[in-house]
Amino acid sequence: MIETAVTIVLLLLLGAVTIGIVRVRGLFAAVVLLGIYSFLMATLFIVLDAVDVAMTEAAVGAGVSTVFFLGALYLTDTVEAPSARGQFVPLLVALVTAGALVWGLSDLPAFGSPDQPIHRQGADYLARSVPETGIANVVSAVLASYRGFDTLGETTVVFTAGIGVLALLRRRRSEGGN
């Protein structure tokens, strides 16, 4: 009962922070709200017993992403550049993208259907993960053993992005800009 109440409160807070992110005018305030959103998501994942995902969300979502956003904010000008074209083209692109997504959703299988392919393949990994890896946590076993190269690739992408931000900051500092 208390877990459900905490989940509902966290979801309401997430909704309020999301509205705040969309409505806020300052970029710094938006970055702070994005960090708060990530911490709320991490807390929600803890309540849902997904501690590994919560740690990743707190580290990447609230930590690394906030640093990247602050770095990008440091590199941006304080005056908005005037728009070169009308607002019709971005609206058209957004509407076409939304239409394609809705059309793609119509082809998805029924929600919660137990006879979908994902349910047939995943059970084998769940049954074999602990005996084959010796790791008691199934999520850690799958990420570290079965999807190790994928996780290594994701780590490489985040590391490369960090090096890119550092290079941009160093170049900006050597040029004497703000």
Per-residue pLDDT tens listing for the chain (178 residues): 888 999 999 999 999 999 999 999 888 999 999 999 999 999 999 998 888 788 888 988 888 899 989 988 888 877 767 766 667 888 899 999 999 999 998 888 777 777 777 777 777 777 888 888 888 888 777 777 777 777 788 889 989 988 998 888 887 777 665 5
- Give the length of the chain: 178
How high is the pLDDT of residue 30? 92
Return the structure tokens found at 70.
């602050």
Which of 173, 129, 169, 175 has the alpha carbon at shortest distance from 148? Answer: 129
CB 136 within 8 Å of CB 52: no
DSSP single-letter state for residue 124: H
Q: Greatest CA separation found in the chain?
A: 62
Distance CA(131)–CA(138), nearest Å, equals 11
Task: For residue 75, give the H/E element and its range.
Answer: helix 65-75
pTM over 0.85: no
